[in-house]
Every structure is written in structure tokens, then in C-alpha cells.
């Protein structure tokens, strides 16, 4: 009891969420060990299956993250429903570690397409990472072939008419494309503002 006679105030214990470790999927990493560590953290945090499906991929980096993004996109294109926890765990253990067959890696590279919300440079970086998983010594010409194949149509039309032989040239072209798009976007905004000002003045 406090000195002034008031009842003591109950202090709630502070609950700290346990953060699961990160997992890259690089050579020598152990997916089973990562899964066990994640399950311990999820149980301590009281996560439901739905929460685990959100939190588990957030523990991925590098190879594992690329694998998850590419595989999830392929499932969506194939009309499959969202992951269940058991499906994600099974796929993670068997596929999300560097060292899966080169044929499987190349399939993922071939199936990767640029997303509507993905800039050309962002797409290039993802494809570069996937290409390195297949073959770190892959030639620029072969990498460019994979990258061009998956471009959104509006970008493919601009790229396909130019003879590009190096990744540096492709990167520079993507920079110019994005700069042109940004200038066009700003011009549209200015035109809209000018039209709104004219309308206001008329009124």
C-alpha cells in the first residue's frame, strides 16, 4: 500500500514481440533450422496461421525472398489459391535454398515477368539476382534475352528495336525510359493544373 493510503497500482508486464531470424537461402543455410526458429517465435508471439503466412516471408532475404516472390507470382498466374501454411512450409523446405537444381532455377528465371507496379530498373535488379542463381558467369546477351522476354509490352516495344549487347547499355536505356516517363508525368500534371486554372477564371 502507498504512503497516502491508496491501493497500489497494478503494473502490466510489457510484452515484447520476438523477432524471427532472417533467412537468405544461400549455400550452407539450413531451411529446417530456420523454420524451427520461426515456429518458436510465432508460438511465443501467439501468431495465428494467417499471421504466420504474413510474417514468414518477411523473414526472407536474398535468394529466399526472390524464390518466394517468383513462386507466388507463378501460383497466381496458374489460378492457384493463396498459400496454406502447410503448402508454404513444404515448398520452402524443398525449394527455397540455393542448391535446388539448375533446371528449377532457370524455370523461375524464365517465368519471371515485370509487374505493372515495377519499374524497369527494379525489374532488372530482380532478374539479375535470378540470373546469378542460375549461372554467375551467364553472358550479358543471355541475361538480356531473359530480361527482354518478361518486359511489359510498352517497354518491350521500345527496347526490342535497339541492338543492346551489354547490361550496362540496357540499364542506361531503362534510365532514359524512366526519365522520359517522369517528364511526361510532370507535363500531364502541369496541363491539368493549367486547365483547372482556365476553368476557374472562366467561372
Whether the per-residue pLDDT at 7 is higher than 60: the answer is no
CB 106 within 8 A of CB 143: no
Element (H, E) at 107: helix 102-111
Question: Are 95 and 121 part of one and the same domain?
Answer: no
What band does 175 get if pLDDT is binned at 50, 70 and 90? very high
| CA atoms of 8 and 47, how far apart (whole Å) | 33
What band does 14 get if pLDDT is binned at 50, 70 and 90? very low
DSSP 172: H
Structurally, how many domains does the chain consist of?
Answer: 2
Which of left, alpha, beta for 99 (phi over 0: left; psi -120 to 50: alpha)?
left
Residue range 188-198: mean pLDDT, rounded: 82
- The answer as to whether 109 is a domain residue is no
- The domain boundary, picked from 100, 127, 158, lies at 100
- The answer as to whether 108 is a domain residue is no
Residue 166: other Cβ atoms inside 10 A: 13
**Model pTM score:** 0.48
Task: Give per-residue pLDDT as tens, 33-87.
Answer: 999 999 999 999 999 999 999 999 999 988 788 888 878 887 887 788 889 999 9
Task: Give per-residue pLDDT as tens, 95-142.
Answer: 776 655 455 667 778 888 998 888 999 999 989 988 887 888 899 999
Residue 70 grid cell? 517468383
Question: Are 137 and 56 part of one and the same domain?
Answer: no
Q: Please name the residues in contact with 174: beta carbons below 8 A apart, sequence gap of 6 or more.
A: 119, 120, 121, 124
Question: Are 41 and 68 part of one and the same domain?
Answer: yes
- The domain boundary, picked from 100, 127, 156, lies at 100
Amino acid at each position: 500500500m502507498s504512503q497516502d493510503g491508496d491501493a497500489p497500482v497494478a503494473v502490466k508486464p510489457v510484452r515484447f514481440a520476438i523477432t524471427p531470424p532472417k533467412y537468405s537461402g544461400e549455400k550452407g543455410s539450413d531451411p529446417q533450422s530456420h523454420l524451427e526458429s520461426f515456429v518458436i517465435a510465432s508460438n511465443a508471439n501467439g501468431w495465428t496461421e494467417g499471421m504466420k503466412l504474413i510474417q514468414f516471408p518477411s523473414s526472407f532475404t536474398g535468394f529466399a525472398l526472390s524464390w518466394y516472390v517468383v513462386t507466388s507470382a507463378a501460383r497466381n498466374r496458374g489460378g492457384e489459391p493463396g498459400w496454406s501454411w502447410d503448402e508454404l512450409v513444404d515448398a520452402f523446405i524443398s525449394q527455397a535454398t540455393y542448391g535446388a537444381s539448375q533446371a528449377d532455377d532457370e524455370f523461375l528465371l524464365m517465368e519471371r515477368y515485370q509487374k505493372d507496379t515495377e519499374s524497369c530498373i527494379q525489374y532488372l535488379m530482380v532478374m539479375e539476382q535470378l540470373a546469378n542463381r542460375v549461372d554467375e558467369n551467364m553472358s550479358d546477351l543471355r541475361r538480356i534475352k531473359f530480361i527482354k522476354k518478361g518486359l511489359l509490352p510498352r517497354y518491350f516495344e521500345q527496347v526490342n528495336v535497339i541492338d543492346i549487347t551489354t547490361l550496362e547499355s540496357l540499364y542506361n536505356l531503362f534510365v532514359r525510359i524512366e526519365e522520359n516517363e517522369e517528364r511526361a508525368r510532370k507535363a500531364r500534371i502541369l496541363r491539368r493544373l493549367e486547365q483547372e486554372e482556365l476553368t476557374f477564371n472562366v467561372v
